[in-house]
């Protein structure tokens, strides 16, 4: 029930005083926000909670207020499906921005190591590898799937996750190295405290893929490369699901 419907019901029952209060609130609120206790109020609460959480974290990172759009309904539906199936995914919203080795951002405490920036300069890593596209995502909170190659993950694991969440295969991928680094700085510094590595989405050179994240080699700063068909017991993966603003 919306504020408009709530006002009508109150007037029908003769509670014009309360109806006038609701009418006043309706003028300052979106008409599609449900009244507390009515169907849809929980979703609205989830949206407001997510926005508040993200804006606070982004302000700590950037040192200023950052505007992000409301999470799309498709993300909330996928998040609900993930929770029902016991999948460890969490929602985050990021603005679009590009990074350079010398970018000065208040909360960017741990930057990718020099090797990453040098390989971008050499053209072995795409220059877009240092860009955050922005938007709402679901991301794995844990590093899983050890012993699976990058190729295995893309041929089997990620399409399976897409089916479970009922999203398009094109929405599901791995974190880019810079996404791992930024999300780690903003939300999860503990991601850099594991003695294992994880595959990243980024291409390297003629067919290798980036890996990183081990505390033995820099934690959140760690970036390296491996052949994509290697099955290594110390390399896992972390899925990412991306959503368009209109989804």
Structure confidence at residue 4 as a pLDDT band (50, 70, 90) = low
Residue 133 or 6, more confident: 133
Confidence at 37, pLDDT banded by 50, 70, 90: very low
State residue 39's pLDDT score: 41
pLDDT score of 67: 92
Residue 222 has pLDDT above 80, yes or no: yes
For residue range 93-146, list pLDDT tens digits in order: 999 999 999 999 999 999 999 999 999 999 999 999 999 999 999 999 999 999
pTM (2 decimals)? Answer: 0.82
Mean pLDDT of the chain: 87
**Residue 41 pLDDT exceeds 70:** no
More confident residue, 73 or 43: 73
The pLDDT score that the predictor gives to residue 206 is: 81
Q: Say how far apart CA 125 and CA 123 lie, in whole Å.
A: 5
Burial of residue 204 (CB within 10 Å: 0-12, 13-18, 19+) is buried
Q: Would you say residue 73 has pLDDT above 90?
A: yes
Between 78 and 45, residue with greater pLDDT: 78
Cα-Cα-Cα-Cα dihedral of 40, 42, 46, 48, to 10°?
70
Question: Any idea which of 22-31, 79-88, 142-151 has the lowest mean pLDDT?
Answer: 22-31
What are the backbone angles phi and psi of residue 25, rounded to the nearest 5°? -65, -40
- The predicted structure's pLDDT at residue 244: 86
At 180-191, the pLDDT tens digits run: 999 999 999 999
| pLDDT value for 241 | 98
Mean pLDDT along residues 196-212 = 96
């Amino acid at each position: 029930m919306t504020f408009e419907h709530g006002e009508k019901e109150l007037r029908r029952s003769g509670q014009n005083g309360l109806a006038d209060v609701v009418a006043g609130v309706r003028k300052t609120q979106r008409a599609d926000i449900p009244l507390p206790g009515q169907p849809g109020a929980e979703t609205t609460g989830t949206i407001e909670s997510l926005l508040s959480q993200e804006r606070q974290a982004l302000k700590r990172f950037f040192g200023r207020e950052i505007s992000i759009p409301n999470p799309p309904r498709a993300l909330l539906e996928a998040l609900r499906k993930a929770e029902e199936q016991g999948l460890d995914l969490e929602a985050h919203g990021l603005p679009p921005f590009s990074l350079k080795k010398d970018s000065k951002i208040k909360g960017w405490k741990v930057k990718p190591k020099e090797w990453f920036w040098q390989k971008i300069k050499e053209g072995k890593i795409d220059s877009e590898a240092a860009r955050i596209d922005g938007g709402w995502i679901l991301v794995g909170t844990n590093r899983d799937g050890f012993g699976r190659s990058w190729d295995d993950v893309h041929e089997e694991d990620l399409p399976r996750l897409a089916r479970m969440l009922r999203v398009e295969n094109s929405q599901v991928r791995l974190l880019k190295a810079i996404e791992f680094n930024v999300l780690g700085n903003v939300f999860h510094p503990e991601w850099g405290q594991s003695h294992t590595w994880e595959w990243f989405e980024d291409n390297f050179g003629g067919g290798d893929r980036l890996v990183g994240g081990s505390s033995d080699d820099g934690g959140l700063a760690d970036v390296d490369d491996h052949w994509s068909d290697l099955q290594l017991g110390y390399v896992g993966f972390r899925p990412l699901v991306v959503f368009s603003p209109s989804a």
